[in-house]
Structure 1
């Protein structure tokens, strides 16, 4: 179970497409999936933060998991986010993901109570014992309110062979360094993904495995380009692409949740999709949409309307 060779590289946390009634838009979803696979991604992660899982019911999450897994049809690995504030709900959703044929589940820690380490360990252990699927932990302390420390993750990995990796959406790159040194140092096949776009290059340079980052939804060529260039030792090209990626995080400050920003960027880059988001997220206003266009121009993802090279 410890072998994780199929989990590496660039895996987008896919935006879920809805119609204006908030229902899953299967045609739009298919458009996004085909676009990303054609772009060369190494997997697809559905129902992460950018996939609006926290705004969905259990049945809606099951519908997304079922449709996306079936539509991908083995073309790339499918990862399903099953995190919740309730251990029982995580078990239910993880077992459903396994039943419909997902390749792995990705689980953020409960994000309401701050748990004792003993209770958090029991939470993940109960889930790990309930499925045979590989599990990637999802560390996003800004949203969950509680960090998964490298030492804690190592204890989980030592006990459960199906806990095979982590998505590190952390502000401090030193946390990723310590995760790699502590956990990969003992279990080399354990995979460490960065969550923030501009952490991809440093994560790779530290010995990490890739990224699960939002920009891949609308600019897959950047992260994929960084990854391939790094792996082929074309470091100058990797750095040049990384500099373009560095503009991307500024767009996430335009709104919160920024799921609307990502969908508008996807549409601006030519994807024929609905940009409807589930409340409490709201549509992006015209002023912020104009700011988004400016950021995309700076990242060389849209042509400069002035014709001046930026």
Structure 2
């Protein structure tokens, strides 16, 4: 809302919007949005509302990263009790020392217990903590709870190849790889063995179609669909500013009622709005042309 209050009605409509676009899973309270601006009570209320709205139709992963292990564990247990399929955890900021990262995730797994599936979020551009392929594979072997990699390292295509080629062996369990960064590199990540996308974009139907078409073997069609959305996808990924863009597009599409970000946050001016509306119109025209040509 314009006041900064949590808009419960828009939480419901946004959840319905993503489900209506055909997603087969959701991640909430992640890094791309405004989860870091919520109080602990608000985070629980938002998670509970979305999980109840989804009502088991698709699996929901809840981001629970926190500087404190007690806070992380508390939110994770709450999310699982409310029906989450698993939780997402990023390393805590600090020295980029492999032993420290491994030790931290061992602590997380011990605190959460063996029954909580964990998605390891690898996003060094935000956390400041790079995670090597060796550490990812070691944690996959040592911690059975870690079943998914949220890949957001960039450049990171070689990392996708390495994790895919070296997991799912007699030594290392297969690790599901879902990719973020707004989907900027999605076709290439899929070609290197990623299982799909796990990211925010105001046109989630593009991500759904690209993944499904690529997995069906029509790589050229998948890239054509991706290319039609690329200008607005790129525009939405501007650091610091992209959140306001995404919310403006979601409002334009009827998914939410208000595009305001919680303070302090970016806001579009009249020139920004006009620029974005032109991009939306061009994107929708390209998508229509692509559909007519299929």
Give yes or no for TM over 0.5: yes
Does the 8 Å contact 1:134/1:164 carry over to 2? yes
What is the SS of the residue equivalent to 1:109?
A: coil
Map of 2:291 onto structure 1: none
State whether structure 2 residue 218 is matched by structure 1 residue 234: yes
Cα distance change on mapping 1:121 and 1:272 into 2, 3 Å = closer
Map of 1:27 onto structure 2: 9
Does the 8 Å contact 1:141/1:147 carry over to 2? yes
- For residues 227 and 105 of structure 1, the distance between their equivalents in structure 2, rounded to whole angstroms, comes to 23
For residues 158-237 of structure 1, the aligned pairs below 5 Å read 158-172=141-155, 173-184=157-168, 187=172, 189-196=174-181, 197-215=183-201, 218-237=202-221
Map of 1:295 onto structure 2: 279
Cα displacement (A) at 1:248: 3.5
Once the two structures are superposed, what CA deviation does each residue of 1:185-237 show, in whole Å capped at 9, x if it has no partner? 5546311111131221111111110011222xx21221111111112222221
Cα distance change on mapping 1:39 and 1:207 into 2, 3 Å = same
Map of 1:128 onto structure 2: 109
Task: Select which of 140, 148, 151 maps to 2:123.
Answer: 140
What is the SS of the residue equivalent to 1:179?
A: helix
Cα displacement (A) at 1:152: 0.6
Gaps of 5+ in 1: 1-18, 305-310
Does the 8 Å contact 1:264/1:275 carry over to 2? yes
Does the 8 Å contact 1:293/1:302 carry over to 2? no
- For residues 272 and 127 of structure 2, the distance between their equivalents in structure 1, rounded to whole angstroms, comes to 27
Detail structure 1 runs of 4+ shifted over 4 Å in the superposition. 184-188, 301-304
Does the 8 Å contact 1:43/1:76 carry over to 2? yes
Question: More relative contact order in 1 or in 2 (CA 8 Å, sep 6+)?
Answer: 1
- For residues 285 and 119 of structure 2, the distance between their equivalents in structure 1, rounded to whole angstroms, comes to 31
Map of 1:45 onto structure 2: 27
Q: TM-score, normalised by structure 1?
A: 0.84
What is the SS of the residue equivalent to 1:247?
A: helix
User: For structure 1, which segment, 183-192 or 51-60, has the greater mean C-alpha deviation from structure 2 after superposition?
Assistant: 183-192
Cα distance change on mapping 1:159 and 1:253 into 2, 3 Å = closer
Cα distance change on mapping 1:279 and 1:205 into 2, 3 Å = same
- For residues 260 and 222 of structure 2, the distance between their equivalents in structure 1, rounded to whole angstroms, comes to 34
